[in-house]
Structure 1
Amino acid sequence: MTERYLSVTEVALELGVVPGTVKGYITRGTFPEPDVFIGDIRGWALPTITEYKATRNPAKVKAGRRTSDE
């Protein structure tokens, strides 16, 4: 069976953000490492993103801006 991995765009849809936000998380090192690389394309397994969603704190981010406690 073929494994299915999510692209940055698909991850953004799962998280309810735009792809640029996911790229920012990656750049800052606050996002999980990809589960796979195909050439220079990153891919994440759905369980990786599900776990990330369960452990992140979206209350600290409002409309793309940090709150004062960060």
Structure 2
Amino acid sequence: MTIHYLTLSGIATRIGISPTTAKKYADDGRLPEPDAVTGDGPKAVRGWLPETIDTWNSSRPGHGGRPKKDPQD
């Protein structure tokens, strides 16, 4: 059975951000650790399971988890 991983482009499509933003998240360490890495060095390709990204996305700051502003403030 083949396991399908998401690339940065796939993450962007899945959660509705641009590929540039997904790369910035990865470079800044804001994405979870990849579930797989293929290759070595700067040409290595990282891959994330869809479940890993769904879990991360549902709890990331600013994505529905941000407290609502109190209208009295």
TM-score range, shorter chain: 0.7 to 0.9
Equivalenced residues, count:
60
- Identical residues among aligned pairs (%): 37
Question: Could you tell me which of 35, 54, 57 is aligned with 1:53?
Answer: 57
* Structure of greater Rg: 2
User: Where does residue 12 of structure 1 map in the other structure?
Assistant: 12
Q: Tell me the CA shift for residue 10 of structure 1.
A: 0.6
* C-alpha distance after superposition, 1:8-40 (max 9, x if no partner): 101000110111101111111111111001111
Could you list the runs of 5+ residues in structure 1 that have no partner in the other structure?
Answer: 61-70
User: Where does residue 3 of structure 2 map in the other structure?
Assistant: 3
RMSD of aligned alpha carbons: 1.3
Report runs of 4+ in structure 1 exceeding 2 Å deviation. 57-60
Distance 1:20 1:33 in 2: 18
Structure with the largest fraction of strand? 1
Could you list the runs of 5+ residues in structure 2 that have no partner in the other structure?
Answer: 67-73
Task: Tell me the amino acid that sits aligned with residue 3 of structure 2.
Answer: E
